[in-house]
Amino acid sequence: MKSIVILASGNGSNFEAIVKKFREWKLEIEIKALITDNREAYAIKRAKKLSVPVILLDYSSFTSRADYNAALLSQLTELSPTLIVLAGYMKILPPEIVRKFEGRIVNIHPSLLPAFPGLRAIERAYKNGVKYTGITIHYVDEGVDTGKIIEQRCIRIRENEKLSHLERRIHRLEHYYYPRILKNLLTNHV
């Protein structure tokens, strides 16, 4: 059976949208686990509510980045999912993980890449005064938000729109498209 593992560091709203949609669509795809690097992540509460197993690799309890990366690599190797889904995972995956799972790691980013890679993309786009922004779903390579683009969706920033309102619209787009794109990848391409 095909399967996914979802990595999230924070709120977990994309994680929840994916789990709920996959269940609603009755997909024959196993959601093996939520992996998080942050013991405070709200995503953990969502996973418990949804009965998705949680693997906590609490970053603050590792003595080095290398140790954390080794633990993550070992978990991913053991779970061996068809796709690794990054959903608000805020660490850079190390080259050994990217190479091992090449073409099987997908990320969502809240801007029209290559514009505004990295952190706080919605806010930076907003403050920059761009007229259009959106979301990008892409494969993960060794760079920061540089992998091959799978899909983008664009929205126009409205006259006098508040940042919080724009954020809500971006998240709605993410929650709508990410599950659909993943379903398409899993049923047609991997």
Out of 4, 12, 38, 83, name the contact with ligand GAR by CB under 6 A.
12
Q: Is 94 in the site for ligand GAR (CB under 6 A)?
A: no
Only segment of 32-40, 70-78, 105-113, 123-131 that touches ligand GAR (CB under 6 A): 105-113
Q: Is 186 in the site for ligand GAR (CB under 6 A)?
A: no
Only segment of 11-19, 57-65, 75-83, 91-99 that touches ligand GAR (CB under 6 A): 11-19
User: Count of residues binding ligand GAR (CB under 6 A)?
Assistant: 15
Q: Tell me how far apart the alpha carbons of residues 138 and 80 are, in angstroms, rounded to a whole number.
A: 20
What is Dmax (Cα atoms) for the chain?
A: 50
Out of 5, 6, 7, 13, name the contact with ligand GAR by CB under 6 A.
13
C-beta pairs of 157-163 under 8 Å, 24+ apart in sequence: 157/125, 157/126, 157/130, 157/131, 157/132, 157/133, 163/122, 163/123, 163/126
Q: Is 109 in the site for ligand GAR (CB under 6 A)?
A: yes
Q: Name the DSSP letter for residue 91.
A: S
Q: Tell me how far apart the alpha carbons of residues 81 and 31 are, in angstroms, rounded to a whole number.
A: 9
Q: Is 121 in the site for ligand GAR (CB under 6 A)?
A: yes
* Nearest residue to the partner ligand GAR, using Cβ: 88
Angstrom CA distances, 61 to 31, 41, 64, stand at: 26, 15, 9
β-sheet bridge partners, residue 56:
36
CB of 91 to ligand GAR, least distance (A): 10
CB of 88 to ligand GAR, least distance (A): 3
Angle, in degrees to the nearest 10, between helices 42-49 and 13-24:
20
Q: Which of residues 49-68 bind ligand GAR (CB under 6 A)?
A: none
Q: Is 175 a catalytic residue?
A: no
What's the start-to-end Cα distance of the chain, in Å?
12
CB of 51 to ligand GAR, least distance (A): 19
Contact 82, 190 (CB under 8 A): yes
Residues with active-site annotation? 109
Which residues are at the interface with ligand GAR (CB under 6 A)? 8, 10-15, 87-88, 108-110, 121, 145, 174
